[in-house]
Amino acid sequence: MSVTVNLPSVLAAHTGGARTIQANGRTLGEAVADLAARYPTLAPRLRDDQGKPYPFVNFYLNDEDVRFRGGFAAPVQDGDEVTVIPAIAGG
């Protein structure tokens, strides 16, 4: 499955400036692993040492917080949109 991943500008330094990237996988975790393999310095800013979502970012799958969908285990479909947002905002 190919999904579109939107990154915040603070992470674009790790992707050669790209803010919108295609990634492949059957789950969100696999799509993130695909990105991590292609952009090594981006990897620790998406996943922690245990391979869980990095605590200072939140992942949204088609506008929904993925923590309501099983986190990295959430299945993704072709054409899905994943948005990464820094966690520290609001309130």
Partner 1 sequence: MSATSSSIALLPLTARPLRCRNCGAERGPAPVAICELCLGPLDPVYDAGRALPDAETIRRRAPSLWRYKEWLPFDGDPVWSLDTGFTPLVEAPALARRLGVARVWVKNDTVSHPSLSFKDRVVAAAINAAAAFGLETIGCASTGNLANAVAAHAARAGLKAWIFIPEELEQGKIIGTSVYGARLVRVRGTYDDVNRLCAQVADHFGWGIVNVNLRGYYGEGSKTVAYEIAEQLGWRLPTAVVAPMAGGSLLTKLRKGFGEFLDAGLIHGQPPRLYGAQAAGCAPIVRLLERGGSALEPEVPRTICRSLAIGNPADGLFAARAMHETGGWGAAVSDAELVQGVRLLAEDVGVFGETAAGVTAAGALALARAGRLRADDEVVLCITGHGLKTLEAVLDAVPEAPVIAPRLRDLIPLVEERS
Residues that bind partner 1 (CB under 8 A): 8-11, 13, 45, 54-58, 60, 63, 65, 67-68, 83, 85-91
CA distances from 49 to 12, 26, 42, 54, 67 (A): 21, 22, 13, 9, 19
CB 9, min distance to partner 1, A? 5
DSSP string, 2-27: EEEEE--GGGGGGTTT-SEEEEE-SB
For partner 1, the closer CB: 9 or 17 = 9
26 versus 67: smaller Cβ distance to partner 1:
67
**Nearest to partner 1 of 2, 83 (CB atom):** 83
Nearer to partner 1, 8 or 51 (CB): 8
Query: How near is the Cβ of 91 to partner 1 at its closest, in Å?
Result: 2
CA 35 – CA 38 distance, rounded (Å): 5
Of the candidates 22, 6, 20, 16, the one whose C-alpha atom is nearest the C-alpha of residue 57 is 6
